[in-house]
Structure 1
């Protein structure tokens, strides 16, 4: 897979999730998609893709009501990574987020994420972004 295509596909996934276009999400994920976020566990009777959709469709996720500012994207033939600032009503100072997606056969098949609250005072001279 082409690294630039993986970046575009990741942006398509974000747009589909935020826009609640679930058929578009299904087209971007494998049926057995694995999400390593413990909050996005599969409900009984759902597969990985459907559990991912249910998490965003039915739950109060960090993306709910959020503004997202993408800072950087990195991709290779197998992975797409995005580092962004997320601000939502519960975290007005913001959260630094890294999402890592693995690609197989032109679709995302696996996901990891890391979220870190942005401190009021940075402990070093460089800001998080």
Structure 2
């Protein structure tokens, strides 16, 4: 695999994930059927694997009505990591989230995440983002 191929794939994967997140955050939940593989694997607690089961679950979860503010995106030829603030209106400051997406052949095939409440600013003098 050439460096150019890896770079092109990373750029395509980054674009797919960020565009899908933007559509989802704007209320277009149909985007999930377009980007998730049928045998999608989920690693987050209490979230089901499988495209249809995951879509049914996540479209009723707090993230489906949240404001997402992306701070950074890191991509290579198989993985895209998105670090962002998720504000569901449930708590001041929202949550800091890092999603890790694995992609194969232009589809999201696997997902992990790390979520934590954003603490008061005096506890994080260098910021969360």
For 1:51, which of 42, 50, 53 is the aligned residue? 53
- Structure 1: tracts of 5 or more residues without a match: 43-47
For 2:46, which of 39, 63, 70 is the aligned residue? 39
Whichever structure has more helix as a proportion of its residues is 2
SS across alignment from 1:31: strand
8 Å Cα contact 2:24/2:64 also seen in 1: no
Correspondence for 2:76: 76
**Alignment length (residue pairs):** 121
- Structure 2: tracts of 5 or more residues without a match: 1-5
C-alpha root-mean-square deviation of aligned residues, in Å?
1.8
TM-score by length of 1: 0.83
TM-score by length of 2: 0.83
State the Cα distance separating 1:91 from its structure 2 match: 2.1
The answer to whether structure 1 residue 4 and structure 2 residue 11 are counterparts is: yes
Between the aligned partners of 1:14 and 1:120, the Cα distance in structure 2 is 27
* Structure 1 residues 18-54: Cα deviation after superposition (integer angstroms, max 9, x where no partner): 32342x3222111000011122125xxxxx0111110
